[in-house]
Amino acid sequence: MRPWHFGVAWLALFAAAIASGVDLLSYLAYLILFVGVAMWVVSRQTLEGLSVQRQIGQGYAHLGDTIELRYELRNEHRFGKLWLEVFEESNWPEHLPGRVVSIAGQRDRKWKVLVKALRRGRFQLGPIALRSGDPLGLFAAEMRVDAPALILVYPKVLPLQHWELPGSLLEGGVLTGQRSLQATSMVMGIRDYRPGDAYNRIHWRSSARHRKLHVKEFELDQTADLWICLDLDRHWHRGDGENATIERAVTVIASVVAKALREHRSVGLVTSGRRPEAMQPDRGTKQLGKVMQFLAEVQAAGEVGLAETLIETTPRIRRGSSCLIVTPSLDRQWVRPAATLREAAISMQAVIIGSPLHGDERDRARRNTLLGELAIAGIAAAYLPADGRIEDLFREAAVA
């Protein structure tokens, strides 16, 4: 019963008592009024002395992981609380489970809640709401405790057994066993001086020890920067949920970034949003966190096409780097800028994300044409169908 229902019923009873002059009705009206006032006073005191805290097992998770929330309810009042409803207000994709508890005076209650990360993104938890009332349910009391917390849900990271980090022609960094004609940061060894060798390559200590001129030899590096281009043009992205092209594209990139950074590559990211944006290459866990935070919130809402993005990105990528394009686009216009990058001594790869919507023969023909042009341009490409496993990317190329 709501408070105004109770008030209307009491007024009707009081009016009937006055009109009829029956003492029993008058006594009953005063009794109900006393009960109502007593319940209102009790409801005002049901939340006194209460405090609640929440702890999160971790501030981030990957899609599909389980997050643990730990709650502690403390009653510092000497009287117990008959019933309390505790629930969380948040923008979590699904309703976080609450709990109805009773607690004795000067006691505390603890419990855990397990929630599954069903959607990537940035989610804000809090405040925590406490709701109670009188034993008859006439009056409700509610209190909110500010306990802000942030949870980042990153995309999945899957093992890419068949995808290999492309090499480059950049010198200096990792042993390859190949001699370089250019001076690099790593010395491979020394040899006898030959006519035409530069004087700045002479190793004077060895020359003095052997009493004849020796020069330094250098090594090639196959671990240059890896640039990843994510196409966010909304005109090509299709589907909802985990099978959406944007979700599968983000999962591919997260998996590639994790593998590349584990192998000590510098990874940069380029996206075609409302305008092309770039995250400069870097390595280490700091770069992994930056990329994952970006991928947690990115959406396919761009207006810029992939071809325009590649054209504007070309000056950023230095010779000898590698570039991976992830796109659902079947437009052949972006093949020419990609081929231009390859002609600039940049190793190119592409992943075509298949639409979850059933296409017609025209879409199938456009896809085959696109893959054919990429092959002619010398760009390694892999097609990821809507029902295909991301772990099997480039499997056919590995077998070949």
Q: Where are the domains of the chain?
A: 3-45, 50-154, 179-219, 226-399
242, 243, 246, 252 alpha-carbon torsion, rounded to 10°: 80
Q: Are 272 and 303 in contact (CB under 8 A)?
A: no
pLDDT of residue 10: 82
pLDDT of residue 324: 96
Residue 131's region, left for phi above 0, alpha for psi from -120 to 50, else beta, is beta
Q: Mutual orientation of helices 361-376 and 335-343 as an angle, nearest 10°? A: 10
| Neighbour tally for 67: CB within 10 Å | 19
Tokens of 186: 């790593």
Burial letters 72-89, b for 16+ CB under 10 A, else e: ebbbebeeebeebebebe
pLDDT of residue 191: 86
Q: For the whole model, what pTM was predicted?
A: 0.79
Alpha-carbon distance 213 to 193, whole Å?
5
Alpha-carbon distance 303 to 307, whole Å?
12
Residues 6+ apart with CB under 8 A from 365: none
Q: Nearest 5 degrees, angle CA 256-CA 257-CA 258?
A: 90
| Neighbour tally for 183: CB within 10 Å | 14
Tokens of 209: 């020890």
Which residue shows structure tokens 């090594």? 219
Alpha-carbon distance 69 to 55, whole Å?
6
Residues 6+ apart with CB under 8 A from 389: none
Q: Nearest 5 degrees, angle CA 297-CA 300-CA 305?
A: 130
Gyration radius (Cα) of the chain, Å? 34
Alpha-carbon distance 46 to 331, whole Å?
65
Q: Are 355 and 384 in contact (CB under 8 A)?
A: no
Closest to 72 in 3D by CA, of 91, 86, 90? 86
pLDDT of residue 167: 62
> What amino acid occupies position 233?
D
Task: Walk along the chain (400 residues) and give the pLDDT tens digit of each residue.
Answer: 567 777 787 888 888 888 888 888 888 888 888 888 999 999 989 999 999 999 998 889 999 999 999 999 999 999 999 999 999 999 999 999 999 999 999 999 999 999 999 999 999 999 999 999 998 888 899 999 999 999 999 999 999 999 988 765 444 434 444 444 444 445 667 888 888 788 888 989 989 989 899 988 765 454 578 999 999 999 999 999 889 999 999 999 999 999 999 988 899 999 987 777 899 999 899 999 999 999 999 999 888 999 999 999 888 888 888 999 999 999 999 999 999 999 888 999 999 999 998 777 888 999 999 999 999 999 999 999 999 999 999 887 544 3
Burial letters 247-257, b for 16+ CB under 10 A, else e: bbbbbbbbbbb
CATH 1.20.1250.20 matches 226-399: no
pLDDT of residue 5: 73
Closest to 173 in 3D by CA, of 43, 288, 32, 321? 321
Alpha-carbon distance 388 to 386, whole Å?
6
pLDDT of residue 170: 44
- DSSP reduced 3-state for 322: strand
Alpha-carbon distance 393 to 396, whole Å?
8
What's the CATH number of domain 50-154, 3.30.9.10, 1.10.645.10, 3.40.50.2300, 2.60.40.10?
Answer: 2.60.40.10
Q: Are 73 and 86 in contact (CB under 8 A)?
A: yes
Q: Nearest 5 degrees, angle CA 50-CA 52-CA 53?
A: 155
pLDDT of residue 360: 77
Cis status, amide bond into 127, omega within 30 of 0: yes
Alpha-carbon distance 254 to 158, whole Å?
8
